[in-house]
Structure 1
Amino acid sequence: MSTELKNKLQSTDWAVPVLQQLKKELDDASAAGSLQIPVEPGGWWHQYVCPHHHTELLFDPLEKDRDVFQCPHGCSIEGEAYRGAWLVFKHQSLARYALQAAVVYACTKEKVYAGLAKRLLIDYARQFPLYPVHPEAQPWMLKGRAFHQALTEAIWSTTLLRAYLLLKDEGCALSEEEEQDFKRFLTLLEQSMTEYRHILIRERNNPENNYTAWLNASLSCMYAVRNDMEGLEALIEGEGGWKHHLSIGVKPDQLEFEGSVYYHIFVLRAYLISAEMAERFGLDLYEKIAPDGQCLRGMFEVLGLLADEQGELPALHDGPMQRLPYAREIAETLEVGLSRYRMAELSPVLQAAYRSMGSADGSRFGLEALLYGQGTAAPATSKERQSLLLEHSGFVVVRRKGSALSFLSDFGPHGGSHGHYDKLHVSIMHKHGAFTPEFGMVPYGSAMRKAWFAETASHNTVSVGGASQAPHRGSCVRFHDGPEAAEVWLQSEEAYPGCRMDRHLLLTDEWLLDIFEVTLQESGEMNWWMHPVMQGELIQGRRQNGIPTGKLRPPGSPFIHQQAALLAEADHSGSSSLKFKYTGTNGAVVYHTALLMDGDEAVEIVTPGTSIDPSAKLHGFLHRQQGRKGRFIHAYSAERPVKLLLLAEDRLEISDARGSTELQITDGQGLHMTGRNTYV
């Protein structure tokens, strides 16, 4: 490792500044006296969230101790749950400092940093047996010692054990007494990890759980520390082991089985740590392929294809839109992927992670860069980004070279405990930023987790009868990417009893057409939701304030407020239109045209913000219809607004300054272009 690190210092223009930054962080932490391990175990980090604003509380690794915790909006929060959550962050930061000190020592051979890393390792080795098997952990958890969850303990342990291995590789040995203390720590840790693997795999029959990947990673590090090749090989090959987990924890389309990008990164990172340990014995897991084609290379490829033009990953199902620890996980994972597979399409994703970590221009930054970064710079992206259908996971992304707009839609499996009630949701992206993204998920300790962020009404889809959709799987009836347009037809038949939903999406170089049809056995109320993150302006139609609030009865109603009725301008077809202009902070502009029928209601709503800060309210759009059949027709464009005209019940015209297109809406057969006239 020292040779590799020294090569980076000599051959790149970024490694030396990163090293100096890492040294300064360690020196500042030492000067602040904050590198002393707590004798209290940590709790559950998801409880580190403000109960009023639902934002994650602030954490400063330089603090030695804390009993009152600050919200970004100024709240002061006290309580054992928050104290326990703060301790999770503190323990994790100290493990990171141990690895960071080992890296600095490997680069500089300055003994003070080796001494710091060793002290943290031995302090934890001696304290670990004194932590109880956590009595305050929630009943569903696999209990740890240093934390409520064994999962957190497994992740934390991999950081400490990698620090130990790096010191050992650099010839920095522990004393005989220290080595004995460390062995006792390993014995207890191995007993816990092995017991919890047995519970997951045998007793709960749940080997595909993301826990399993991390228990495997922790044990892999232990076997590497002990130089136990036989133990590692048995772990790789056995039930619930590395190979088996890859075959059941990842879908054949390469996405982690829960349909969450966050948990995909989470599991991929665990896989990579196990692969790093296996490589120490000459075993190559980086090119292994499971029976249905699942492989590490494919798991990286799908990330590059899911990311938007800025490299931002969608917050599908549970997972944050943005937080520092997640950005670090992405950076570590992507650096390994780039060094192993040289995929240019990963470069924007890596740069976005570094921007989230504090690098203004996305250049390499922090511990992850120095440990795993290769080359003078990440390779540039040159490939044209294609549309993507993940048939097994149930996501479709549609892009066109000539369009500033693209979209992602969700039709697949619910996602289990990390799923949302969001079938036929659509996220619309502009090439300069998100327009209607997935909002992500707040820390699980927030009451808004289930009351808002998982619910149908917080997604860009349809709810019926004042209830969220049932957990279910929809289908992709048609996906066609042709020369003139890309068409997607998605269908759901299990969201509500006696209900069928069809969503037709048609993307050309000029516009995106969205037709959502609902058929009910009995008359009911249908609510079509749209949640833009850009600033909106009504440019056709008018607002009427003071509408009664009693009419709004969707799930999570305490979080939704009616701002104004939106009254559209009628045309000769019996329909009428609203038009909006949305402007992003980065200069992106999206125009939205909504076609309203007689009896339709259009409402401007105020809702919580994204999971980054739910207290930063957003203005959304609710389109409501009553009856047994509903049809919601909307169009989006980037250069100028389009006009929608209903020529007949089954014929629609969409036009802009360049011309018009006529479409046939055929029940059970989708959309068909019947005529296209382009003005010259």
Structure 2
Amino acid sequence: MMNLKEKADTFSWVGPVVDKLKTELDPFREEEILLPAEPGGWWHQYVCPRHHTELIFDAAEQDAFVFSCPKGCKLEGEPYRGAWLVYRHQAMARYALQAAAVYAADGEDFYSGLAQTILVGYAEQFPLYPVHPDGQPWMLRGRAFHQALTEAIWSTTLIRAYLLLVDNGVTFTEEEEKKLQVFFLMLEESMEQYRHILIHEKQNAESNYTAWLNASLACVYAAKGSREKLASLLKGEGGFYHHLSIGVKPDGFEFEGSTYYHIFVLRAYLITAEMAGRFGVDLYDARGDQGQSIRGMFQLLVELSGDNGELPALHDGPYARVPFAREITEVFEIGCLVYKDPTYQPILAKAYRYLYGQEERPGLEALLYGQRESKEFHSACWTRASVLLPDSGFAVLRHLGNPLSVLADFGEHGGSHGHYDKLHITIMHRLGEVAPELGMVPYGSILRKEWYAETASHNTISIGGRSQAPHTGSCRQFRQESEDTYLWIRSDGAYEGAVLDRHLWLTDGWLLDWFHVEQVTGQKQDQEVDLWFHPTGHLLFPVEPRPIRMDSPAVLGQEAGYGSVEVLSLLQNETDYALRAGWSTLYGGGGHDPEYEVSVNTLLPPGSILHEIRTPGIAEDPSRRIRGIMLRHRGPSVDFITVYRAGHEPAVLKLVSEAGEPARIQIETTGQRVVYCLNPETGLIQEEFRNMEE
């Protein structure tokens, strides 16, 4: 792998990137380098209590006591000050790495001096921090931060800066080196102690904490040249190989089923692999006990991503956030460098587009790891099949010719980072989201538990105004053929006495979503069954009948997320047959492709009520409320049948079975008519009839 000077001499795009990074650092030529003397708190508390948006952080601001919400709120004091300090300490560590990288690329002494000053400053300051007295009881408490986890992440950035300087011939004075070695020793002792507590006392070796404690120690051992300790770190309980075996499912997904924490752990693995490589140990092709690998974790993200490179925000994790996008760019720049896989590029391009508004390499991660001739990305041309992840409990349905795809969640709850969301679906268009997982706000927001983790915030079923119980669903059938893909998933642990079956059938013309709910007869047979749909586009009702407006919005309840739901209008089916209701979600405004539209038709069972609702929006900005749909039915059983079709022309959906017969529906579009039925004996959805017109 070429060094940064060789890269600058080889690739034409590197020079402008270095110049941009210099511009960001040049204010330090005039300003004193001030490291906060106070330890940081918990970054999750850097959130507006009114709008639930992350507060603004300006990396150029050396100190702050008033903290601004993007909506204009001004906040002071704790916990905001402590959370701001986390951002500041992390920013200074990043500045050290950035300065070291710029020096390595062009050799200007100012930048090596800047990095040295930050490193030595923290080495002097770290021994002054006590074990943080304000950390919450459940935390492994750090010194420089509430959490040892935050400290581990921060330390890897600083030590990578140190190693980059040393690799490029920078020397420290004897006194500076002594301070740095004390810093490394204290980090080593702390991280080893945290590891012992987590792995042996708490018996929680699979935690994402473990991956980061390992990464921090790997950096310390690399800085100190401790080959034997590095080798020991890789093996044994909680070591790299063991964590890969227990922290990642055999199908490649991080055990909590969270896209965010998957990338979080993958980044820690890559840092550990980078440090191990300094001792001649190759972890990039390492395997866990059931075949888990770093490369498999990359492939898992490729399988989950949309055609435009967008990653779904499964379980806990932000919908979108600048630091998260930076983590994605770092991870996938390294992935492209190590594995040379072009299928990684759409995800990397999407992250750069979010950060900089362009699909180019203008940042620090590009300088450190980018090794392509061009700074631009080209969408990889490949056809991805549908995929079943049996160990993690996810499936993605795709079909060549249909711009719609759907991701279904039937697996484990996900522990402390899981949601009450079994049989939730995320619907994607090739141009972007249609009905996503809404993400997760910073944990300091009350909406974490009051809305975003609850069943009502997901595209699935809730019963009796309650969220689902933590449980694991099952896949009853997954079948992919040339003409269609079919998935049948079941939940029988969400509610006592209730069985939830969701059938998804994807063809080139539509997505059929058939949700059957069966409750046992008796005391609970009349519980209300609610099916939720949260699109992020502009909701229209072009298909009659139009819901009846209410005089003012109504609230459905106060528990299990229902208190966050406003009812805007109602449509009750008072007939004895299923009523067809439809709507469209538009995404074509603001310069987007006009094809970015989805038409939806649903059958409203007799006695059911369609609610037009308004709820908190995606977690990036909950205050931007979105309109959605909730279908409600009271009774021992119900079939909610919906058809999604790309474009402005909806598929015609009809119920064609007679009373007392097995449910049978017909879907009709221009040139095509298909009849499906629910087989009462096998429980499968079957195609009964297909008519293709010339």
| Distance of 1:616 and 1:29 partners within structure 2 | 38
Unaligned segments of structure 1, at least 5 residues: none
- 1:192 Cα shift? 0.7
| Distance of 2:267 and 2:174 partners within structure 1 | 33
- 1:581 Cα shift? 1.7
Code of the residue aligned with 1:641 in structure 2: it is: P
- 1:186 Cα shift? 1.1
For residues 60-84 of structure 1, the C-alpha deviation after alignment (integer angstroms, 9 at most, x for no partner) is: 0100110110000000011211000
- Whether the 8 Å CA contact 1:606–1:617 is kept in 2: the answer is yes
- Whether the 8 Å CA contact 2:556–2:562 is kept in 1: the answer is no
- 1:10 Cα shift? 2.4
Q: How does 1:247-286 map to 2 (within 5 A)?
A: 247-286=245-284
Q: How does 1:70-469 map to 2 (within 5 A)?
A: 70-358=68-356, 360-377=357-374, 378=377, 380-469=379-468
From 543, 550, 563, the equivalent of 2:547 is 543
- 1:361 Cα shift? 2.5
In the other structure, the counterpart of 1:525 is 528
Code of the residue aligned with 2:686 in structure 1: it is: H
- Whether the 8 Å CA contact 1:50–1:57 is kept in 2: the answer is yes
- 1:175 Cα shift? 0.5
- 1:647 Cα shift? 1.1
| Distance of 1:316 and 1:175 partners within structure 2 | 48
- Whether the 8 Å CA contact 1:568–1:578 is kept in 2: the answer is no
- 1:557 Cα shift? 2.4
| Distance of 2:355 and 2:578 partners within structure 1 | 49
| Residues matched between the structures, number | 675
Distance change (3 Å), C-alpha of 1:355 and 1:550: closer
| Distance of 1:594 and 1:176 partners within structure 2 | 74
In the other structure, the counterpart of 1:676 is 690
| Distance of 2:311 and 2:676 partners within structure 1 | 33
- 1:533 Cα shift? 0.2
- Whether the 8 Å CA contact 1:569–1:577 is kept in 2: the answer is no
In the alignment, is residue 5 of structure 1 matched against residue 13 of structure 2? no
- Whether the 8 Å CA contact 1:32–1:63 is kept in 2: the answer is no
Code of the residue aligned with 1:484 in structure 2: it is: E
From 554, 557, 560, the equivalent of 1:555 is 560
- Whether the 8 Å CA contact 1:318–1:419 is kept in 2: the answer is yes
Moved more, 13-22 or 413-422: 13-22
In the other structure, the counterpart of 1:665 is 678
Name the SS for the 2:656 alignment partner.
strand
For residues 397-438 of structure 1, the C-alpha deviation after alignment (integer angstroms, 9 at most, x for no partner) is: 010111011000100000000000000001111111100000
For residues 148-188 of structure 1, the C-alpha deviation after alignment (integer angstroms, 9 at most, x for no partner) is: 00000000000000111111111111100011111111111
Code of the residue aligned with 2:229 in structure 1: it is: G
Name the SS for the 1:632 alignment partner.
strand
In the other structure, the counterpart of 1:503 is 502
For residues 350-373 of structure 1, the C-alpha deviation after alignment (integer angstroms, 9 at most, x for no partner) is: 001111211x22111210000011
Name the SS for the 2:620 alignment partner.
coil
In the alignment, is residue 574 of structure 1 matched against residue 577 of structure 2? yes
- Whether the 8 Å CA contact 2:455–2:561 is kept in 1: the answer is no
Distance change (3 Å), C-alpha of 1:679 and 1:32: farther
In the alignment, is residue 612 of structure 1 matched against residue 620 of structure 2? yes
In the other structure, the counterpart of 2:486 is 487
- Whether the 8 Å CA contact 2:462–2:531 is kept in 1: the answer is yes
- Whether the 8 Å CA contact 2:579–2:603 is kept in 1: the answer is yes
| Distance of 1:554 and 1:474 partners within structure 2 | 24
Name the SS for the 1:196 alignment partner.
helix
For residues 290-341 of structure 1, the C-alpha deviation after alignment (integer angstroms, 9 at most, x for no partner) is: 1201011111111111110110111000001111100110000001111111
| Distance of 2:68 and 2:85 partners within structure 1 | 14
| Distance of 1:283 and 1:211 partners within structure 2 | 23
- 1:549 Cα shift? 3.2
Code of the residue aligned with 1:669 in structure 2: it is: G
- Whether the 8 Å CA contact 1:385–1:399 is kept in 2: the answer is yes
| Distance of 1:46 and 1:421 partners within structure 2 | 21
- 1:637 Cα shift? 0.2
From 644, 649, 654, the equivalent of 2:667 is 654
In the alignment, is residue 625 of structure 1 matched against residue 633 of structure 2? yes
Code of the residue aligned with 1:201 in structure 2: it is: I
Name the SS for the 1:397 alignment partner.
strand
| Distance of 2:546 and 2:611 partners within structure 1 | 11
Code of the residue aligned with 2:548 in structure 1: it is: Q
| Distance of 1:552 and 1:276 partners within structure 2 | 52
Name the SS for the 2:316 alignment partner.
coil
In the other structure, the counterpart of 1:642 is 651
- Whether the 8 Å CA contact 1:457–1:554 is kept in 2: the answer is no
| Distance of 2:57 and 2:112 partners within structure 1 | 26
- Whether the 8 Å CA contact 2:409–2:423 is kept in 1: the answer is yes
From 24, 40, 43, the equivalent of 2:41 is 43
- Whether the 8 Å CA contact 2:574–2:607 is kept in 1: the answer is no
| Distance of 1:579 and 1:401 partners within structure 2 | 25
Q: TM-score, normalised by structure 1?
A: 0.97
Unaligned segments of structure 2, at least 5 residues: none
- Whether the 8 Å CA contact 1:32–1:62 is kept in 2: the answer is no
- The percentage of aligned residue pairs carrying the same residue is 51
| Distance of 1:424 and 1:658 partners within structure 2 | 32
Distance change (3 Å), C-alpha of 1:622 and 1:29: farther
- 1:485 Cα shift? 1.2
- Whether the 8 Å CA contact 1:125–1:182 is kept in 2: the answer is yes
Name the SS for the 2:117 alignment partner.
helix
In the other structure, the counterpart of 1:564 is 569
Return structure 1 stretches of 4+ with deviation > 6 angstroms. none
Moved more, 252-261 or 644-653: 644-653
- 1:392 Cα shift? 0.5
Distance change (3 Å), C-alpha of 1:341 and 1:597: same
- Whether the 8 Å CA contact 1:569–1:578 is kept in 2: the answer is no
| Distance of 1:534 and 1:568 partners within structure 2 | 26
Name the SS for the 1:549 alignment partner.
strand
Moved more, 641-650 or 512-521: 641-650
Code of the residue aligned with 2:625 in structure 1: it is: K
| Distance of 2:31 and 2:655 partners within structure 1 | 69
- 1:210 Cα shift? 0.3
Name the SS for the 2:445 alignment partner.
coil
- 1:381 Cα shift? 1.1
- 1:666 Cα shift? 1.4
| Distance of 1:341 and 1:568 partners within structure 2 | 56
Root-mean-square deviation (CA, aligned residues, Å) is 1.5
Name the SS for the 1:104 alignment partner.
helix
- Whether the 8 Å CA contact 2:557–2:563 is kept in 1: the answer is no
| Distance of 1:304 and 1:29 partners within structure 2 | 40
Code of the residue aligned with 1:557 in structure 2: it is: Y
- Whether the 8 Å CA contact 1:608–1:617 is kept in 2: the answer is yes
- Whether the 8 Å CA contact 1:260–1:316 is kept in 2: the answer is yes
Moved more, 209-218 or 282-291: 282-291
| Distance of 2:240 and 2:530 partners within structure 1 | 45
- 1:30 Cα shift? 4.3
